[in-house]
């Protein structure tokens, strides 16, 4: 039986940021998500101007991925096609759907914009993460009322066991009307890490219990 290990993870939730178990202290208070995420983007010195064009859901997922991926050197250890992205959430792109709807609901004030419309698809956030990090492997965006760690585990395990991908960026990125919560982790194969002489003792197994524990940020 092949083991799949969680080698990095991060949470962004209502003014709270945790990466690999470390809480990033944020003393400032923010009223809106837009203010908060802009602050975090600057604080982390990401330097990716396309960030400003993204909708709020993509900003949240993108920045969570950014913080998590910063701590792992995937690029030198894997090919683009070996890295997949599997994300789920509850409200798909509804937050942006309402924003877009404002631009078409009134005949006399009708100004649909392609740059808003494109974000009315939830998997655009996977596209943003893939473009930034040049990830070309398997994709899936799923929708469930609550985070379903069992579903994510079974889909990721299956993709990795069948050697379709060697690494998966996976998790939960939810945002609707100022309520937001994101959890992203990196899953890699134990045998590959050992082959690269990496100490794997500090990593936990990809299981639904571990995913829900980390998402609730009780640490590794």
Partner 1 sequence: MTGVYIASDNIITSLGFTTTETIDKFRRHSIGLQMISDPALSPVRLPLSCVDTLLLEEKFRSLVSSFYPEFLNTAFTRMEKMFILSIQDSIHNSGLNLKGEETILIMSTTKGNIDLIGEEKKNLFDPKRLFLWEMARVIQDFFRLYHSPIVVSNACISGSLAIGIGARFIRSGKFRNAIVTGGDILSKFVISGFQSFQALSPEPCKPFDISRNGLSLGEGCATMVLTADETIISGDKITVAGFATSNDANHISGPSRTGEELAFAIGQSLSEAGIQASDIDFISAHGTATVFNDEMESRALTLAKLNDSPVNSFKGYIGHTLGAAGIIESVATIQSMNSNMLFKSAGFSESGVPEKIRVVEANNPANLIYCLKTASGFGGCNSSLVFIKQ
Q: Using CB under 8 A as the criterion, what x/- string covers residues 157-186 for binding partner 1? A: -x---x-x----------------------
Dist CA 159 CA 208 (whole Å):
16
- Among 66, 82, 138, 181, the residue binding partner 1 under the rule CB under 8 A is 138
Which span (10-18, 28-36, 70-78, 155-163) binds partner 1, by CB under 8 A? Answer: 155-163
Question: Is residue 190 a contact residue for partner 1 (CB under 8 A)?
Answer: no
Listed residue (213, 214, 184, 179) closest to 61, CA to CA: 184
Q: How far is CA 18 from CA 8, 157, 174, 181, in A?
A: 11, 25, 16, 12
Question: Is residue 193 a contact residue for partner 1 (CB under 8 A)?
Answer: no
Residues 73-92 contacting partner 1, CB under 8 A: 80-81, 85, 90-92
CB atoms within 10 A of CB 151: 14
Q: How far is CA 181 from CA 2, 33, 161, in A?
A: 31, 11, 29
Q: How far is the CB of 100 from partner 1 (least distance, A)?
A: 7
Question: Is residue 105 a contact residue for partner 1 (CB under 8 A)?
Answer: yes
The residue count for binding partner 1 (CB under 8 A) is 49
91-110 burial code (b ≥16 CB/10 A, e <16): bbbbbbbeebeeeeeeeeee
Question: Is residue 219 a contact residue for partner 1 (CB under 8 A)?
Answer: no
Contact positions vs partner 1 (CB under 8 A)? 80-81, 85, 90-92, 94, 97-98, 100-101, 104-105, 107, 110, 112-114, 117-118, 120-124, 126-128, 130-131, 133-145, 151, 154-155, 158, 162, 164
């Amino acid at each position: 039986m092949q083991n799949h290990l969680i080698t990095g993870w991060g949470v962004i939730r209502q003014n709270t940021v945790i990466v690999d178990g470390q809480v990033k202290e944020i003393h400032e208070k923010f009223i809106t998500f837009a203010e908060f995420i802009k602050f975090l983007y600057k604080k982390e010195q990401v330097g990716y101007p396309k960030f400003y064009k993204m909708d709020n859901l993509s900003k949240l997922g993108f920045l969570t991925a950014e913080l998590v991926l910063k701590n792992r050197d995937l690029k030198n250890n894997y090919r683009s096609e070996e890295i997949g992205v599997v994300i789920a959430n509850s409200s798909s792109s509804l937050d942006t759907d309402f924003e877009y709807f404002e631009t078409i609901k009134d005949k006399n004030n009708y100004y649909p914009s392609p740059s808003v419309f494109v974000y009315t698809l939830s998997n655009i956030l996977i596209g943003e993460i893939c473009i930034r990090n040049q990830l070309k492997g398997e994709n899936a965006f799923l929708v469930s009322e609550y985070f379903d760690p069992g579903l994510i585990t079974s889909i990721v395990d299956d993709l990795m066991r069948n050697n379709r991908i060697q690494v998966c960026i996976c998790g939960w990125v939810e945002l609707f009307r100022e309520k937001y919560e994101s959890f992203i982790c990196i899953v890699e194969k134990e045998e590959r890490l050992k082959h690269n002489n990496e100490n794997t003792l500090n990593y936990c197994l990809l299981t639904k219990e571990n995913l829900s524990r980390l998402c609730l940020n009780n640490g590794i």
